[in-house]
Amino acid sequence: MTDAERVVVVGASMGGLRAAEQLRAAGWTGAITVVGDEPHMPYNRPPLSKDVLAGEVSHAAVAFRLRASCADVDWRLGEAAVGADLAGRRVRLAGGESLSYAGLVVATGLRPRRLNRPGPSAGRHVVRTLDDAHGLRAVLGPGRRVVVVGAGFIGCEVAATARSLGAEVTVVAPEPEPMYRPLGADLGAALRRRHLARGVCFELGHTVDHLTGEERVTGVVLDDGRTLPADAVVEAVGSIPNTEWLAGNGLDLGDGVRCDELLRVESWPDVVAVGDVARFVNPRYDDVPRRVEHWSIPTDSAKHAARTLAAHLAGTDCVAPAFAPLPTFWSDQYDERLQSYGAPGLGGADIRLLEGDWDGDCAVGYHHAGTLVGVVALGGKAIALATKYRRELVG
């Protein structure tokens, strides 16, 4: 078998691993090479802002188990893909090597957006990789002053973990409530009250002007001129899809990789995309292509994309419905669980309390054009409450 008779998977995180597994399940018996810029084998990322940050957790504790079907996969770790020639079916690596392929899987995921503000770089952290989490853990502890910039999932989870370790935590964000965009004002306010009860401070409706310090960060200056003392700053201000290596191929890379209903990358039948780098239309909701950054998407998309690619490589048509996942996410903050199914972000202003009360266990429904499109539950009974409404979302 020649090198051209292999599938190259670019991205060695969860999406890349699931793609390799699902290619085998779909009948591909040829070679598979997985390329990744991190030195680690694939591992689970959700614990990074919680268990890994809270204690001395090793790679082995969060690593995914490798299935026997993938025992012969060639893992090329610690070397990023820096270019691709889709017409020539080749991927160029940072070290200069060029890999040929019969099929290509784009699974390069995201990287953290950095805070574009003046100030020293030392003492500024993000949480995306295992090494990121270990680096931040080393500076957390009782009395340490931590400023978290961003009040989304990562920002809130890091705030909860840092506070549990005894740090003094302040969250800065321009939105009126934490997790305002996906959850809305009422549930965001309920989450904020839970954080306040545990000693987290909030500076909402504010942005960062610059950071102070010579060699290391000593403070965060807000847009109103006030300075928040800081021993560490955590930047949780969103993500950027890793698509630069695909430039020059005429693709729509405006926000991730544009895919069709079978997760093929535009007009290239031998290229598919999986995970949160893929932008696709979900026919459950509307005709707007979007990326979905939830934990369930790498597995769901890998299964669909692998069938598509395996069929093409076998010379047959892929007979499958359009990719229409039911997005799922959860967030653990202190002893509180936030559980979601569907697309609450599409609910707009039509948000209704379905059960419970805002300061206890509650389930919240998000409606689009009068139809329930998402449900989020908060509290000790979150999983049971959210699962109760999941059947309605599935249809």
In a domain, residue 330? The reply is no
Q: Is the pLDDT of residue 156 over 90?
A: yes
Helix (H, G, I), strand (E, B) or coil at 302: helix
Q: Is the pLDDT of residue 145 over 90?
A: yes
Q: For the chain, what is the domain count?
A: 3
Mean pLDDT of 68-78: 96
Global pTM value: 0.95
Mean pLDDT of 141-169: 96
- 74-95 confidence digits (pLDDT tens): 999 999 999 999 999 999 999 9
Residue 172: what pLDDT? Answer: 98
Task: Categorize the per-residue pLDDT at 391 as very low, low, confident or very high, splitting at 50, 70 and 90.
Answer: confident
Residue 395: what pLDDT? Answer: 64
Mean predicted lDDT score pLDDT of the chain: 94
Residue 79 CB burial class (10 angstroms; 0-12, 13-18, ≥19): middle
User: Do residues 51 and 122 share a domain?
Assistant: no
- 119-135 confidence digits (pLDDT tens): 999 999 999 999 999 99
User: Do residues 121 and 217 share a domain?
Assistant: yes
User: Do residues 71 and 82 share a domain?
Assistant: yes
Alpha helices in the chain (DSSP H): 14-25, 51-54, 59-62, 130-137, 153-164, 180-183, 185-197, 296-313, 382-394
* Residue in the structure block whose two tokens are 């700053």: 233
User: Do residues 100 and 245 share a domain?
Assistant: yes
Helix (H, G, I), strand (E, B) or coil at 341: strand
- 161-184 confidence digits (pLDDT tens): 999 999 999 999 999 999 999 999
Residue 166: what pLDDT? Answer: 96
- 275-325 confidence digits (pLDDT tens): 999 999 999 999 999 999 998 999 999 999 999 999 999 999 877 899 999
User: Do residues 245 and 231 share a domain?
Assistant: no
User: Do residues 230 and 262 share a domain?
Assistant: no
The answer for residues whose C-beta is within 8 angstroms of residue 298's C-beta and 6 or more apart is 13, 14, 15, 18, 107, 274, 275, 276
Q: Is the pLDDT of residue 1 over 90?
A: no
In a domain, residue 219? The reply is yes
Task: Categorize the per-residue pLDDT at 369 as very low, low, confident or very high, splitting at 50, 70 and 90.
Answer: confident
Which of 199, 216, 235 is the last residue in one of the domains? Answer: 235
**The two three-digit tokens of residue 70, written as one number:** 């993938």
Q: What percent of the chain has pLDDT over 90?
A: 88
In a domain, residue 296? The reply is yes
Return the beta strands (E) in 61-206 as ranges: 74-77, 81-85, 90-93, 98-100, 103-106, 110-112, 124-125, 145-149, 168-173, 201-204
Which of 235, 269, 296 is the last residue in one of the domains? Answer: 235
Specify the range with the lowest mean pLDDT, choosing from 19-23, 192-196, 248-252, 386-390: 386-390
Residues 99/78, Cβ–Cβ less than 8 Å: no
In a domain, residue 276? The reply is yes
User: Do residues 119 and 105 share a domain?
Assistant: no
User: Do residues 130 and 224 share a domain?
Assistant: yes
Q: What percent of the chain has pLDDT over 70?
A: 98
Compute the radius of gyration of the chain from its Cα atoms. 22
Residue 152 CB burial class (10 angstroms; 0-12, 13-18, ≥19): buried
In a domain, residue 324? The reply is no
User: Do residues 119 and 231 share a domain?
Assistant: yes
In a domain, residue 57? The reply is yes
User: Do residues 229 and 251 share a domain?
Assistant: no
Q: Look up the CATH number of the domain holding residue 122.
A: 3.50.50.60
In a domain, residue 327? The reply is no
Which of 193, 219, 235 is the last residue in one of the domains? Answer: 235
Which residues span the domain enclosing 377? Answer: 335-394
User: Do residues 127 and 143 share a domain?
Assistant: yes
* Residue in the structure block whose two tokens are 């060029």: 98
Residue 241: what pLDDT? Answer: 98
Mean pLDDT of 214-238: 97
Residues 197/189, Cβ–Cβ less than 8 Å: no
Residues 77/39, Cβ–Cβ less than 8 Å: yes
Q: Is the pLDDT of residue 256 over 90?
A: yes
Residue 5: what pLDDT? Answer: 86
Residues 199/189, Cβ–Cβ less than 8 Å: no
Residue 317: what pLDDT? Answer: 82
In a domain, residue 321? The reply is no
User: Do residues 183 and 43 share a domain?
Assistant: no
